[in-house]
Amino acid sequence: DAKTTQPPSMDCAEGRAANLPCNHSTISGNEYVYWYRQIHSQGPQYIIHGLKNNETNEMASLIITEDRKSSTLILPHATLRDTAVYYCIHRRAAGNMLTFGGGTRLMVKP
Amino acid sequence: KAGVTQTPRYLIKTRGQQVTLSCSPISGHRSVSWYQQTPGQGLQFLFEYFSETQRNKGNFPGRFSGRQFSNSRSEMNVSTLELGDSALYLCASRDTEESPLHFGNGTRLTVT
């Protein structure tokens, strides 16, 4: 997995939208963007993934720029339980090896 | 469906001992992979099993081995433990190659 760039930390007020950016300028045409998060002492939790279209599920929305070199994960109404480290990676769908970078430590505050 | 289950949750061993970690994937998932996570190195891929066969292997010494059983449950073994093997060991499963990985909560191994 190639390297992605994320801000090391962000704060968000409870109930507000959290927008987490990720730069992945070396992404290849057949690689997906995946987002995971990890709450302390737990395993990484899959959030969402996409290729080039924007995606939404019950947890979050994923906005991918037209050139696919960056994306934004949106948690529409952040709660205290969303406090975690969020990882963005890009890889081929049919592949197993994952490499997480430093991620963004999101702190949701009351 | 139950998630990926890893046992034990915590383990303390001394140098030179060996350890076996267990992973039960999500029901129906045939692919199981193992990862080591440390503060310094981040998440590193160990190996992947599919239908009892090792399909991929990361860059770890031969002291790290694994296997998968016919019911898709998997075990990972580390022999001759070293202090540097202290880490969170994560197991992940998926049902198809295109599916995202689903992780367990890991086994935290401390080697003293």
Q: Which of A86, A98, A99 to mutate to test the interface with B (most CBs of B within 10 A)?
A: A98
**Inter-chain residue contact B98 with A41, CB threshold 8 Å:** no
Q: Considering only residues A77 and A94, tell me which one the structure prediction assigns the higher pLDDT.
A: A77
Report pLDDT for A47: 96
The answer to whether residues B6 and B21 touch, using CB atoms and an 8 Å cutoff, is yes
Report pLDDT for B26: 96
Q: Percent of chain A beyond pLDDT 70?
A: 93
The set of long-range contacts for A64-67, using a CB threshold of 8 Å and a minimum separation of 24, is A64/A33
pLDDT greater than 70 at residue A96:
no
Q: Which of A45, A94, A101 sits opposite B98 (nearest CB)?
A: A94
Cα–Cα distance between B14 and B81 in angstroms, integer? Answer: 7
The mean pLDDT of A11-18, rounded to a whole number, is 97
Strands B64-68, B74-78: pairing is antiparallel
Q: Low-confidence residues of chain B, pLDDT below 50?
A: none
Question: What confidence tier does A8 reach under pLDDT thresholds 50, 70, 90?
Answer: very high
pLDDT greater than 70 at residue A34:
yes
Report pLDDT for B40: 82
Report pLDDT for B95: 87
- Interface list for chain A against chain B, based on CB atoms closer than 8 Å: 34, 41-46, 49, 93-102
B102: closest CA of chain A, how far (Å): 6
The mean pLDDT of A12-31, rounded to a whole number, is 92
pLDDT greater than 80 at residue A92:
no
The mean pLDDT of A67-77, rounded to a whole number, is 95
Report pLDDT for A10: 97
Strands B53-57, B64-68: pairing is unpaired
Q: Is B85 helix (H, G, I), strand (E, B) or coil?
A: helix
Ramachandran angles phi, psi of B108, nearest 5°: -90, 110
B93 beta partners: B32, B102
Cα–Cα distance between B45 and B50 in angstroms, integer? Answer: 15
B20: closest CA of chain A, how far (Å): 19
**Inter-chain residue contact A43 with B58, CB threshold 8 Å:** no
Q: What is the dihedral of CA B58, B73, A85, A97, to 10 degrees?
A: 30
**Inter-chain residue contact A102 with B42, CB threshold 8 Å:** yes
Of all residues in chain A, the one with the smallest CA distance to B47 is A97
Instruction: Please tell me what DSSP assigns to residue B95.
Output: S
Question: What confidence tier does A102 reach under pLDDT thresholds 50, 70, 90?
Answer: confident
The mean pLDDT of A5-21, rounded to a whole number, is 96
